[in-house]
């Protein structure tokens, strides 16, 4: 199919800024061309113009611009395009309506209920893609064996495509739907997305609505059951909305594109690249599968050109562009994800795992509180970097120019207002000189300062830093920022980063490739001759792909293989038939079968192929999936669960029609040495060095060029660093051999560049510990909900770095470590590991078990560092399952208690002793020991393993730099956080003094039982310090809302970080300028046996409210986590529920979102109903519950659970009698309400905290509080005018590494 002899073939990647064209000419030669994607003065459409130019230049015939292009000479056209991505980023898709099951109109607004940025008080969540919602009166529920509902029989029982049995409770009312749809059409909306609950398995209702909508004249109708039939309504809903929103835009673009050719390209084979790396015919190209169309070509390009079937060495793709960098991995198979977020929209569709980081050539450079910062803000294409002569800011590109790594004389003259000038070195140097003065001023004014940690602030030389040192510093910090996702992407799946080849492409990557490879321990960098247009070249190499997928509910076992084989064969036949219809012959077609498998009772499903595992007597016909699954599970997670059944969630078949061209090698063996065109001065660690400059096209193959050197071609610049060597392969590609890192000796004086790098390194240690913990743990809480954090501490127990940022863990672990140092002191020996959870020892609540490992160093008697991990264990005994009792009155009722327990002694895990301690609560009245000992022990071992990894990484850091240097920089990082907090307090004090003349602020708020929490803050403007005095706060309470001291410190660090308003290291330094006074015996420092479970989840929120009220930062958010749990002997479930966020100066509060000290995701409605004995009757916003004001508070939510069997329901809530306060004249938000509708018709108010026995047919109705309003309402009802930002400025990141971090912060 790819052979079109005697014709021109084109592969074109239409990017945001440039369009790249790869053309194969009739005589077999290849041409590449780059042109601007938008140039309305000269042409309408860039791809058409690229084709026209090649045809005109190669044939000598005239192809006039204003006439359609003659297609008789064109064989095929393949395209990748950012049309869909840009429509999503700019929110310029088609006007769309959503049709959804009644009770769920706000489901996609609420989404997972987690906020994207933990410390942003203005919760910026991308708006939904639809304009209107129609609720449909229909309901289908899954049939459950143990269901005891006393309701009349369902209308009918049906069987879904998964084999599940379903009950139709309410039939579809098509008459009403028709009336509603006509109304939508009359308002000019012609695109419709349909999402009905459980339609992934039974789609009759969706299909009926779809047929009706098409008959009425909707031009685009997207059904969730057709777009992506996978369980989980929220991501399926986002995907179907994206499809309805983007597909018309794609069709519009295609119509415009084809109109530029004679006969509308009827006789030309036109294919488009999809997000999964496969090509599809133009007419099949749709919105939900088009979002990664652009970058997918690049992945195919490097995968095919740089992966060697012989050596089988895995490759990391590194595509550095202007605003961001894409990182991906290839090891013989494309790595796909099935759910990823782009521009704030989660899409459930097969897509290549491309990880985007906000660091590119256009990333801006900042110096903040003594630290070098790169990005995430970008200069964009306009105005662009400073050197573009359009008044832009300093960027990474400018830093490369200042160091002599970019040569203006080799760039086209397309810059400046008239777009006719060269790159401006003067403009760049002017900006850098200004920034260098600012940095040196900071260094000199901070020179005499010695931080509390004894870190001495001075720079290496008395004269300060030079412009080159500053530029070099920013490059090193940018490189470290790009290394972090590469480490995460490889280590997350158990791979060694250094064993990869770095394949570098994109305009900006060549300047950084050597440094990044060296930092990651890689020895080889591969840069293809078409690296500047690799996405276009990848399209020419790609295959046509047809994918089909169906949900499934079978167990992977002998009994199911017959059914499984039959379904796999049906799907494979569908793939083959479709590809045959597209002109492929059988010999060109291959199919690959994937099963989406998980262990029963877990959520960690893996999409598994049986490649390398042929079928046998114990497997299905498509291959030995059990072996493939267990091998991969072991690799990724470090263990398997041998006796647990394996479930098949989905069956997927990927059919490929082989159609890519073969990569043609043209060898041009050289005789004689490569000749440099010039020699320039370039700045490296060693200073300025003579650097030879070569033109790529003039280089003879087979020759080597030692660094330092620069290799230039039309589209990219490659920097060969000292101790590296470039080699030109037979195919004309560049292969770089990377020399080892020459560690220049680093002293203990402060070097501001190294400060930023050490900050990244310490964070990276905590992140890698977290990866080990998640991979090796077994419980849902830690493995899937990611309810844990890991941290590194100094020898004094002071926090250095912590990841992820779970607000309630922020400062609390430091207290735990410092308690152990005080209580155990010299008794701590190498090979010991401590377990602790007691509130008086820095614990938050008992289920959070902290495991602490001291790090020893040869020749040093005491620990040089500590590493620790804190994980939420689902049960550790006590009076209720889950160890979160709403009515506990003493600590013993909440579970097992550990103060300074030696979990490991001399390297031996103390299983017997810890088992005894976990079972100990059974000795108290009405209490039980742990109900899940197996998971407790497994997770504790995983925590020990995570600490072991942290200890090893700290050791490696010390090996590299020496103990004194690492400890000095630990101190500097803490001082840096201290500095940022002092600056914030001075700034607040100045404003306060001007407004009121006083440097004292105070506030109070109340718990529902009337207990006051009082705060008085005295600020010292000169020092930038403050005293936070909670004297006057109420006494310890009978109940469990007592909050240990550690909780108040966590809330305080959270508030300080929000008020600083920029990324700072969250460590002990944040609290150095703060003195905290808490009266002993109060609710914030209770006695040692006080019950505390509610303090962690409720009182912590009130402490935040009180601090923000004192500083007048914003109105109160809902001030509650709405802890709801239910359970029986068979089942247990726990959730926290969103509410309204408070408004602030310039923003409305977000509705239906978690705020402040929690950010937990909520279980998807379909998963909830599939696994638990409930039906979710309603989950929507609670209109009018947000406080009115100039800026309105966010609304709470309404959540109604109908129970299908007997359970015990527990609620632990606040703000049921007190209301979230408004600020500056804004009104209070509404209080929450917990109602129980009994099956017999009685309605009961349950109050804020209770446990109650539930009968089948009872319904729990939760109304969560709204947020407070801000400002008087006189100029109200004006929604605030917020500047419309491109969403990639606000939400630039994507990929599995980003999803993992979001999930972690969603705890």
Q: State residue 510 phi and psi, 5-degree precision.
A: -60, -25
Cα separation of 707 and 726, whole Å?
A: 7
1139, 1162 in Cβ contact below 8 A?
A: no
Residue 807 has pLDDT above 80, yes or no: no
Three-state DSSP state, 114: coil
- pLDDT given at position 330: 92
Cα separation of 1035 and 584, whole Å?
A: 79
Three-state DSSP state, 763: helix
Helical packing angle, 812-824 and 1045-1060, nearest 10°:
140
Task: Compute CA distances 912 → 607, 634, 903, 944, whole Å.
Answer: 38, 27, 10, 16
- pLDDT given at position 153: 67
Q: Which residues contact 642 (CB under 8 A, 6 or more apart)?
A: none
Three-state DSSP state, 632: helix
Per-residue model confidence as pLDDT tens digits over 695-745: 988 888 888 899 799 999 877 889 999 999 999 988 888 999 998 766 556
The angle formed by the CA atoms of residues 631, 632 and 635, to the nearest 5 degrees, is 90
Per-residue model confidence as pLDDT tens digits over 964-994: 999 999 998 888 889 889 989 999 999 999 9
Over residues 374-402, the mean pLDDT reads 86
Cα separation of 731 and 530, whole Å?
A: 11
Helices (H), 403-530: 425-445, 467-491, 513-519
Cα separation of 1300 and 1307, whole Å?
A: 12
8, 54 in Cβ contact below 8 A?
A: yes
Residue 99 pairs with which residues in a beta bridge? 134, 194
User: Omega before 804 cis (within 30°)?
Assistant: yes
Task: Compute CA distances 150 → 168, 528, 1255, 1256, whole Å.
Answer: 16, 69, 10, 7
- pLDDT given at position 466: 92
Q: Which residues contact 66 (CB under 8 A, 6 or more apart)?
A: none
Q: In terms of pLDDT, which residue wins out, 180 or 1208?
A: 180
Residue 709: name the closest of 941, 700, 695 by CA: 695
Residue 670: band (very low, low, confident or very high) from pLDDT cuts 50, 70, 90: low
Residue 221 has pLDDT above 90, yes or no: yes
Return the percent helix, strand and coil in the chain, to nearest 5: 35, 25, 40
- pLDDT given at position 158: 92
Residue 391: exposed, middle, or buried by beta-carbon count in 10 A (0-12, 13-18, 19+)?
exposed
Residue 733: name the closest of 498, 510, 497 by CA: 510
Residue 1303 has pLDDT above 80, yes or no: no
- pLDDT given at position 902: 93
Q: State residue 305 phi and psi, 5-degree precision.
A: -90, -25
Per-residue model confidence as pLDDT tens digits over 598-623: 888 777 788 899 888 998 988 899 99
Per-residue model confidence as pLDDT tens digits over 494-514: 677 888 999 998 778 889 999
Cα separation of 424 and 417, whole Å?
A: 13
884, 1123 in Cβ contact below 8 A?
A: yes
Over residues 86-91, the mean pLDDT reads 82
Q: State residue 957 phi and psi, 5-degree precision.
A: -65, -45
Residue 664 has pLDDT above 70, yes or no: no
Give the other-Cβ count within 10 Å of 1183's Cβ. Answer: 12
Residue 492 has pLDDT above 80, yes or no: no
Residue 1158: band (very low, low, confident or very high) from pLDDT cuts 50, 70, 90: confident
425, 400 in Cβ contact below 8 A?
A: no
Cα separation of 1197 and 105, whole Å?
A: 12
User: What does the DSSP assignment read for 1127-1162?
Assistant: E-SS-EEEEE--BPPPPBTTBPPPSSB--TT--PPP
Per-residue model confidence as pLDDT tens digits over 141-151: 999 888 888 76
Residue 1144 has pLDDT above 60, yes or no: yes
Count helices and strands in the chain by DSSP H and E runs: 27, 55
- pLDDT given at position 87: 84
- The two beta strands, 1123-1127 and 1207-1212, are antiparallel
Strands (E), 137-256: 139-142, 156-159, 165-170, 191-195, 220-223
Residue 415 has pLDDT above 50, yes or no: yes
Over residues 541-552, the mean pLDDT reads 88
Q: State residue 959 phi and psi, 5-degree precision.
A: -60, -40
Per-residue model confidence as pLDDT tens digits over 1116-1129: 999 999 999 888 77
Q: Mean pLDDT across the chain, nearest whole number?
A: 87
Give the other-Cβ count within 10 Å of 824's Cβ. Answer: 16
Residue 401 has pLDDT above 60, yes or no: yes
Residue 1287 has pLDDT above 60, yes or no: no
Three-state DSSP state, 536: helix
Residue 459: band (very low, low, confident or very high) from pLDDT cuts 50, 70, 90: very low
Residue 453 has pLDDT above 80, yes or no: no
Per-residue model confidence as pLDDT tens digits over 626-655: 999 998 887 776 667 788 899 999 999 999
Residue 285 has pLDDT above 70, yes or no: yes
- pLDDT given at position 324: 77
Over residues 662-673, the mean pLDDT reads 58
Residue 831: name the closest of 868, 856, 865 by CA: 856
- pLDDT given at position 1065: 74
Q: Give the range among 816-820, 1030-1034, 1125-1129, 1141-1145 with minimum mean pLDDT.
A: 1125-1129
Helices (H), 777-797: 780-783
Over residues 270-296, the mean pLDDT reads 89
In the chain, % of residues over pLDDT 70 = 93
Dihedral sign for Cα 382, 388, 390, 392, please.
Answer: positive
Cα separation of 1116 and 1108, whole Å?
A: 8
Per-residue model confidence as pLDDT tens digits over 1260-1275: 999 999 999 999 987 5
- pLDDT given at position 806: 73
- pLDDT given at position 1288: 43
Cα separation of 1082 and 1095, whole Å?
A: 12
- pLDDT given at position 1304: 57
What is the Cβ-side half-sphere exposure of residue 1234, based on CA atoms within 13 angstroms?
21
Cα separation of 211 and 198, whole Å?
A: 19
Give the other-Cβ count within 10 Å of 1062's Cβ. Answer: 12
Over residues 939-958, the mean pLDDT reads 90
Cα separation of 268 and 251, whole Å?
A: 18
In the chain, % of residues over pLDDT 90 = 50
80, 294 in Cβ contact below 8 A?
A: yes
């Amino acid at each position: 199919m790819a052979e079109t002899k005697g014709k021109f073939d084109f592969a074109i990647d239409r990017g945001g800024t440039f369009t790249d064209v790869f053309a194969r000419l009739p005589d077999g030669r290849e041409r590449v061309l780059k042109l601007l994607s938008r140039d309305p003065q000269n042409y309408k459409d860039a791809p058409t113009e690229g084709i026209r130019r090649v045809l005109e230049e190669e044939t000598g015939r005239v192809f006039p611009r204003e006439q359609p292009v003659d297609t008789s000479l064109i064989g095929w056209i393949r395209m990748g395009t950012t049309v869909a991505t840009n429509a999503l980023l700019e929110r310029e898709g088609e006007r769309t309506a959503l049709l959804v099951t009644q009770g769920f109109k706000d489901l996609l607004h609420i989404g997972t209920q987690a906020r994207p940025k933990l410390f942003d008080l203005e919760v910026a969540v991308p708006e939904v893609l639809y304009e209107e919602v129609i609720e449909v009166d229909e309901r289908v529920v899954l049939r459950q064996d143990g269901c005891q509902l006393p309701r009349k029989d369902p209308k009918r029982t049906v069987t879904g495509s998964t084999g599940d049995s379903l009950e139709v409770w309410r039939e579809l009312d098509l008459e009403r739907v028709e009336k509603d749809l006509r109304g939508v059409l009359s308002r000019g909306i012609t695109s419709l997305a349909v999402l009905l609950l459980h339609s992934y398995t039974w789609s009759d209702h969706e299909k009926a609505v779809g047929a009706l909508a098409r008959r009425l004249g909707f031009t685009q109708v997207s059904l969730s059951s057709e777009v992506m039939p996978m369980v989980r309504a929220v991501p399926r809903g986002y995907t179907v909305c994206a499809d309805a929103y983007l597909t018309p835009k794609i069709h519009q673009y295609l119509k415009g594109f084809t109109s530029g050719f004679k006969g509308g390209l009827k006789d030309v084979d036109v294919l488009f690249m999809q997000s999964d790396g496969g090509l599809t015919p133009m007419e099949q190209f749709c919105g939900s599968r088009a979002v990664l169309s652009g970058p997918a070509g690049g992945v195919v390009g490097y995968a095919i050109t740089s992966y060697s079937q012989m050596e089988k060495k895995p490759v990391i793709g590194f595509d550095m562009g202007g605003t961001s960098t894409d990182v991906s991995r290839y090891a013989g198979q494309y790595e796909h994800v099935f759910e990823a977020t782009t521009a704030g929209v989660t899409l459930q569709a097969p897509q290549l795992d491309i990880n985007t980081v906000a660091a590119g050539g256009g990333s801006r450079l900042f110096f903040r509180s003594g630290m070098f910062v790169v990005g995430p803000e970008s200069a964009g294409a306009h105005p662009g970097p400073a050197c573009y002569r359009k008044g832009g800011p300093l960027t990474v590109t400018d830093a490369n120019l200042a160091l002599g790594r970019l040569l203006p004389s080799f760039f086209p003259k397309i810059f400046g207002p008239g777009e006719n000038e060269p790159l401006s070195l003067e403009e760049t140097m002017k900006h850098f000189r200004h920034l260098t003065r600012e940095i040196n001023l900071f260094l000199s004014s901070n020179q005499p300062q010695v931080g509390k940690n004894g870190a001495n602030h001075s720079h290496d030389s008395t004269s300060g830093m030079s412009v080159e040192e500053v530029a070099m510093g920013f490059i090193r910090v940018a490189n470290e920022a790009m290394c972090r996702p590469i480490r995460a992407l490889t280590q997350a799946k158990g791979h060694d980063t250094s064993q990869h080849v770095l394949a570098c492409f994109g305009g900006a990557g060549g300047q950084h490739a050597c440094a990044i490879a060296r930092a990651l321990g890689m020895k080889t960098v591969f840069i293809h001759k078409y690296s500047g247009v690799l996405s276009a070249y990848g399209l020419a190499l790609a295959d046509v792909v047809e994918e089909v997928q169906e949900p499934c509910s079978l167990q992977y076992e002998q009994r199911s293989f017959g059914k499984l084989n039959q379904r796999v064969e049906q799907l494979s036949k569908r793939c083959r038939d479709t590809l045959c219809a597209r002109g492929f012959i059988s010999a060109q077609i291959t199919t690959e079968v994937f099963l989406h498998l998980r262990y029963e009772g877990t959520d960690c499903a893996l999409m598994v192929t049986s490649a390398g595992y042929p079928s046998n007597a114990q497997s299905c016909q498509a291959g030995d999936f059990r072996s493939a699954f267990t091998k991969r599970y072991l690799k990724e997670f470090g263990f398997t669960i041998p006796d647990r059944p394996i479930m098949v969630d989905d069956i997927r078949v990927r059919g490929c029609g082989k159609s890519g061209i073969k990569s043609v090698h043209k060898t041009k063996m050289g005789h004689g040495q490569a000749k440099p065109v010039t020699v320039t001065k370039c700045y490296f660690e060693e200073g300025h060095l003579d650097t030879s400059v070569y033109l790529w096209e003039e280089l003879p193959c087979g020759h080597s060029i030692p660094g330092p050197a620069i290799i230039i071609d039309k589209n990219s610049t490659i920097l060969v660093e000292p101790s590296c060597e470039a080699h030109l392969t037979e195919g004309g590609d560049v292969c770089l051999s990377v020399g080892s890192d020459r560690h220049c000796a680093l002293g203990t004086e402060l070097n501001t560049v190294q400060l930023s790098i050490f900050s990244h390194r310490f964070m990276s240690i905590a992140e890698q510990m977290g990866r080990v913990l998640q991979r090796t743990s077994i419980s849902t809480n830690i493995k899937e909900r990611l309810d844990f954090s890991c941290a590194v501490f100094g020898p004094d127990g002071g926090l250095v770095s912590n990841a992820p940022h779970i607000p309630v863990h922020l400062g609390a672990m430091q207290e735990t470590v410092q308690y152990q140092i005080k209580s155990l002191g010299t008794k701590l020996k190498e090979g010991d590991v401590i377990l602790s959870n007691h509130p008086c020892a820095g614990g938050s609540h008992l289920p959070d078990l902290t495991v602490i490992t001291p790090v020893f160093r040869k020749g040093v008697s005491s620990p040089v560092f500590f590493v620790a991990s804190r994980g939420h264990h689902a049960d550790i005994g006590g009076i209720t399952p889950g160890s979160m009792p709403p009515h506990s009155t003493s600590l013993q009722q909440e579970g097992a208690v550990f103060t300074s327990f030696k979990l490991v002694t001399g390297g031996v895990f103390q299983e017997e002793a810890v088992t005894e301690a976990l079972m100990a609560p059974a000795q108290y009245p009405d209490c039980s020991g742990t109900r899940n000992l197996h998971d407790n022990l497994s997770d504790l071992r995983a925590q020990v393993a995570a600490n072991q990894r942290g200890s090893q990484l700290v050791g490696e850091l010390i090996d590299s730099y020496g103990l004194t240097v690492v400890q000095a920089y630990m101190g500097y990082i803490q001082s840096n956080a201290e500095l940022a907090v002092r600056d914030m307090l001075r700034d607040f004090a100045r404003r306060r003094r001007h407004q009121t003349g006083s440097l004292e602020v105070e506030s109070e708020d109340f718990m529902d039982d009337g207990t006051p929490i009082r705060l008085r803050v005295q600020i010292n403007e000169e020092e930038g310090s403050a005293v936070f005095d909670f004297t006057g706060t109420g006494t310890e309470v009978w109940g469990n809302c007592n909050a240990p001291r550690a909780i108040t410190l966590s809330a305080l660090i959270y508030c300080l970080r929000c008020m600083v308003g920029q990324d700072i290291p969250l460590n002990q330094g944040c609290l150095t300028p703060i003195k905290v006074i808490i009266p002993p015996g109060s609710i914030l420092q209770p006695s040692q046996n006080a019950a505390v479970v509610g303090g962690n989840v409720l009182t912590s929120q009130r402490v935040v409210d009180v601090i923000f009220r004192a500083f007048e930062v914003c109105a109160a958010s809902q001030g509650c986590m709405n802890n709801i749990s239910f359970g029986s002997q068979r089942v247990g479930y726990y959730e926290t529920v969103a509410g309204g966020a408070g408004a602030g100066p310039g923003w409305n509060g977000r509705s239906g979102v978690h705020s402040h000290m929690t950010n937990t995701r909520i279980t998807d409605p379909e998963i909830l109903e599939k696994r638990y004995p409930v039906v979710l009757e309603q989950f929507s916003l609670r209109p009018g519950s947000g406080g009115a004001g100039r800026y309105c508070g966010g609304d709470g939510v309404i959540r109604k659970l109908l129970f299908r069997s007997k359970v015990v329901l527990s609620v632990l809530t606040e703000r049921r009698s007190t209301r979230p306060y408004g600020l500056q004249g804004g009104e209070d938000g509404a209080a929450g309400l917990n109602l129980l509708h009994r099956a017999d018709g009685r309605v009961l108010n349950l109050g804020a905290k209770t446990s109650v026995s539930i009968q089948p047919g009872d319904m729990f109705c939760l109304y969560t509080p709204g947020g407070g309003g801000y400002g008087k309402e006189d100029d109200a009802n004006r929604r605030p005018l917020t500047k419309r930002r491109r969403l990639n400025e606000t939400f630039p990141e994507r990929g599995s590494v980003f999803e993992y971090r979001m999930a972690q912060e969603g705890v």
